[in-house]
Amino acid sequence: MTAIVSARDVYKFFGKGANELAVLRGVTFDVHEGEFVCIMGPSGSGKSTLLHMLSGLDAPSAGQVELFGQDLGALSHHERTLLRRKSIGYVFQFFNLLPNLSVEENVGLPLAIQGKRPAAERPRIRELLERFGLGDRGGSFPHQLSGGQMQHTSIARALAGGQPLLLCDEPTGNLSQKAGREVMETLRRVCGEDGRSVLLVTHNPRDAGYADRVLFLVDGELQPEPVLNGPDIPVETIHETLAALHI
C-alpha cells in the first residue's frame, strides 16, 4: 500500500532555553491509503501537536513530514495551505462549525474554499446531509443542533471536499456515549470509501477499537511496541495495553 502520510523522526519543541519543552520526540510512522490509524495517548502527550504537524498547520522543529509524497518542509505557507485544502478533511473535538453559517453552508464550506459554486454542488451536499441523518436540518444553525448532530455535520464537512485523508482530533471527546459511538461508526464506514484514510488521535479506548492500527504516544514518543491491529479491537485489550504502558 502507498503511504499517504509519512512522519520521519519528527521533533517539536516549545519555549526556549530552560523553559524548552519537547512535545514530540522522534516520531516516525506512516499512514497508508484506505487505512484507519489511531494514535492513543493521554492528555498532553502531543497528539494534537502531531496532527498540526501532519496537516501543515505547524512546522516540526526537526524531522520530516511527507503528505502524499510532498515534503511539507519544502513547501511555502501558501503551498501547504493548498495541499491541505486538497488532501485533508479536519474533524475537531469542539466541532468548530462556523456559528453564522447554516448546517448546509457549513458542510459546503470546503467546496466554497475550493472555489466551487454552491448551487452546482448542492445535490452533493444534500446527499451528504441525508447520509448523516441531517436531511431536515440543512437550514438550521449549529446552536440548534445536538452535540452528535454537530459532529456529524463536522464529518460531513470533512468529506464534502472529497479529500482523501481525514484527521480527527478527539472527535467524541465532547459527546455522549451513544453519540460518540454513532460518530465512530460513521468514521469507520467512510474509511476505505474512494481510498479514503482516517487518522484519529484520542485517549478513548472505545474509539481506538474501530481502527485498523493503534499506535501509542507517550510523553511525545511514539511507542514502537505494541501496535494493535484491528478493526474491532476489544476495548479490554486496549485497556490492558494502556496499563502495560503505565498510561
Partner 1 sequence: MSLAITLARRSLLQRPGRTLFSILGVAVGIATVVAVFTVDHVTLKSRTFVDNRWKADLEVRAGRDVQDPRGTLRGTEGVTDVAAFFQNDAMFRPRVGPGERSDPERVQMVALDAGTGQAIGAYHVIDGADLAPDAAENQVLIGSGLAREHDLKPGDELYLSRPRRGARKVCREGEVQVVESRDVPVEEAFTIVGVITNDGVGRKALGRIVVVDYQVGRELYRGAFVDPRFWIRRDPNVDIENLGASLGQSFSYELNSSVVVGQMEDERAFRNGVHLAGFLALTLGLYVIFHTLSMSLRERVREVAVLHALGTARRQIARVFFLEALIIAVAAGVLGFVGGLGLARLLLKQGITTLGVVENPVNIFSVPWTIVLPLSLLGIAIALLGSVYPLMRARRSDTVSTLRGEDLLGGGQASLARGFHIFTAILLIGVLPVIYFSVAPVVGAAEATLVGPILACLGVAALLIALPLIVPSVVGLVCGSVARFFERTWPLAGKLAARSIEQGPSRIAASVAAIALVTAAFVGLKGMTNSLRAEVETWGQEAVVDKVFVSGLPNVKIDGITAELSKLPEVIGVESGDTRSYVPFLMIGVRPGQLRGWGPCKENPNLIKAMRERQGMIVSERLARHRNIDVGDTLAINTSGHGVQTFRVAAVTDEYGYFTQPDERMYGVVDDALMDRYFCLDATTTTRLAVRLRDGADPDVVQAAIFGKLPEGTPPDNMRFIQGREVLDYHVADISRDFLLFDIILGLTALLAAIGVLNGQLLAALERAKELGVLRALGTTRRQVAGMVLLESSVLGVTGGLLGLVFGSALTPIVVKALRMMSGLPLPHRSAGPYLAWCLLGALVVTALAGVYPIWRMNRLDAVRAVRTG
Residues that bind partner 1 (CB under 8 A): 48, 52, 55, 57-58, 77-78, 81-82, 84-86, 88, 90, 92, 96, 98-101, 105, 109-110, 112-118, 142-143, 147, 157, 161
State the nearest-atom distance from the C-beta of 183 to partner 1, in Å. Answer: 17
Question: CA triplet 104, 109, 112: central angle to 5 degrees?
Answer: 115
Output 76 or 193, the one with its CB closest to partner 1: 76
What's the rounded Cα separation, in Å, for the pair 217 and 127? 37
State the nearest-atom distance from the C-beta of 42 to partner 1, in Å. Answer: 17
Output 49 or 186, the one with its CB closest to partner 1: 49
State the nearest-atom distance from the C-beta of 109 to partner 1, in Å. Answer: 6
State the nearest-atom distance from the C-beta of 81 to partner 1, in Å. Answer: 5
Output 50 or 228, the one with its CB closest to partner 1: 50
Output 89 or 209, the one with its CB closest to partner 1: 89
Contact 168, 197 (CB under 8 A): no
Three cell numbers at 93? 473535538
State the nearest-atom distance from the C-beta of 15 to partner 1, in Å. Answer: 13
Neighbours of 97 (CB within 10 A): 23
Output 97 or 191, the one with its CB closest to partner 1: 97
Q: Is 59 exposed, middle or buried (0-12, 13-18, 19+ CB in 10 A)?
A: middle
State the nearest-atom distance from the C-beta of 241 to partner 1, in Å. Answer: 28
Output 107 or 214, the one with its CB closest to partner 1: 107
- Pick the closest to residue 52 from 67, 37, 42, 40 (CA basis): 67
Contact 188, 210 (CB under 8 A): yes
Contact 13, 23 (CB under 8 A): yes
Contact 189, 26 (CB under 8 A): no
At 234, the amino acid letter reads: P
